[in-house]
Chains A and B, each alone.
Chain A
Amino acid sequence: MLTAPFISLLAIYIAMGTIIALVSRRFGVKSSADYFVAGYRLGGFLASMTYAATTYSAFMMVGLVGLAFATGIAALGFELAYLIATMGILATVGPTIWRLARERGWVSPSEMVSDLYNSQILGMAIPVLYLVALIPYVAAQLKGVGEIFDVVGLGYGVGIVVALGLVLLWTLIAGVWSVATTDAYQGIWMLGASISVTLWLSTALIPSSNLDVSRIVEVLRTTASGNLLSNTWPINVFIGFTTPWLFFAITNPQVVQRLYMPRNSRAYRGMVRYFAIYGLLYTALVVLIGLAFRAYVASMLGREMEIHLVKNRDMVTPYMLSLASPLLAVFTFVSIVAAAISTANSIILSVASSITRDLYERRARVVKQQTSRVIAWSSIAVMSMAAAIIALAKPAFIVELSVLSAALLLPLAPVTLVGLYLQPGSKGRVPALSALLSIASGFAIMLLAAIVYGAKKALITTWLGIPIPLWVLIVSTLIIALGTFISRCESR
């Protein structure tokens, strides 16, 4: 029943996005700096929207709605911990990165670390780390699209192919110019859908079931999963899940690279301000949707359905939308496709920039723009296809995959902070070696844990009462701190 309206709206979404991407070519792409960081000349609005659409992925309307439905208000604390920490990073570390990026001509995120430690090996190792950590994250986005296509009757595989095609098309047209402009367009679509679903729940679905606020509160206090108005997450789970999120803004290349792009300090402030408002509104609405729908299911559809959806929480949004009008349902489904595409193409473009810059341009004696372009396009194509193949295997829950990716990149946090403030432009082997060891150790711990325990358990398992992501941070910080200490002793 939803197939025809979905295809129609999807066609409009793709056509408009492609027109926007084609129009963005007028900004001109001559060098890799233009292609990957918009020549450091994004305005505040575009910078904020691409930051928001890159950050907020299919994870929000699929993963976070399901998480709020299954575990309650704790999902809000989990997501807002990210927003609070990110605001702190964007206000303190962010301006330093933004200033240094234009002073030193940084294009890729790995180039920043490589330049700070004056080490080519770091510049080669970090893109490999990005590939291992982020391809599953991109696969999770494509999986989100596949599931939407499955729900509307078009088939999971078709969804993966369409997502792959869109990522390639909107990335290759004009690099970050087409990605940023389509991100802005998709960001508006995403927020519009979350507002529409909230309005539908509060004015149609909830009133039709005779639920008022006091009844909703009563239902949420007595669900099959306990009192969802209280914090239902044990402390180790809360810390394990939020730790990688706290440092997301300086560990994930797709957002680090966005700090290079605002054209001046005013645009930078605008980026942070509008992103904060967007993030707060989107998070609050998405969690509210999950909670309100849980109250509806618990009081109207019975405990069996409630437990079924708790166990299959990625299906909460599709099931909820099956109760909505076809127009709202397909509008929201397309918004989820938009969220997935805007995140996936930003990640792929960012990692491609690391491969192009750190493995070719910074090592070649004479840089040929044609060669750079071929390397960039090949990297984009290979990564997109690798992610699509993984997505076809239907990997674990979207939430866990997303957090695991951030956890694998966690060791980059202490290395970046030390590089920026304690050892900027450091010479000698010790700082670079300690940075490399710090990244390798943290990454190895998290990867080993993921292999031994699986994606979800790796995040919540504790060693000596401390969640594994926190161990990653502790070990990486100790190694880089020791390297800094030795380096300072040597220089004296």
Chain B
Amino acid sequence: MRKVDLLYLAMLFLVLLLHYIVPFTLLRECSGFELYTYWLLLAIAWIIVTGVYMEKRVR
């Protein structure tokens, strides 16, 4: 397994952790659409990272 693959897997675990932990801690009580925006931005960021990774990795 190459370094870039390990880095991608580590990021996957980190993103999933953030997806689960933040809504139960920092964003437990929301007064607006903060949680909606947070989850959406996290998913968008992850899609971009995955796109970049696949361009390099899947040939």
Contacts and interface: CB of A to CB of B under 8 A. Distances in A.
A and B: bona fide binding partners? yes
Interface of A: 73-74, 76-77, 80-81, 83-85, 87-88, 90-92, 95, 217, 221, 227, 229-231, 235, 238-239, 246, 265, 268-269, 272-273, 276-277, 280, 284, 287, 291
Contacts of B43: 80, 83-84, 280
A77 B30 CA distance: 14
Given A80-B40, A84-B46, A92-B8, A235 B30 contact: no
29 contacts: A73-B35, A73-B36, A76-B36, A76-B40, A80-B19, A81-B19, A84-B12, A84-B16, A84-B43, A84-B46, A87-B47, A88-B16, A90-B50, A91-B50, A91-B58, A95-B58, A229-B33, A230-B29, A231-B28, A235-B24, A239-B20, A246-B16, A265-B58, A273-B54, A276-B47, A276-B50, A276-B51, A280-B43, A284-B40
A269 B16 contact: no
Given A88-B50, A91-B54, A269-B54, A231 B40 contact: no
B35 A231 contact: yes
Contacts, number: 103
B27 A269 contact: no
A284 B15 CA distance: 18
Task: Determine the interface band of chain B, counting residues with CB < 8 A from chain A.
Answer: 35 or more
A477 to B, nearest CB: 16
Interface in B2-54: 5, 8-9, 12, 15-16, 19-20, 23-24, 27-36, 39-40, 42-44, 46-47, 50-51, 53-54
Contact of A84 (B8, B9, B42): B42
- Which of the listed residues A76, A95, A239, A265 has the most CB atoms from chain B within 10 Å of its own CB? A76
A226 B23 CA distance: 16
A217 B9 CA distance: 37
Contacts of B51: 272-273, 276
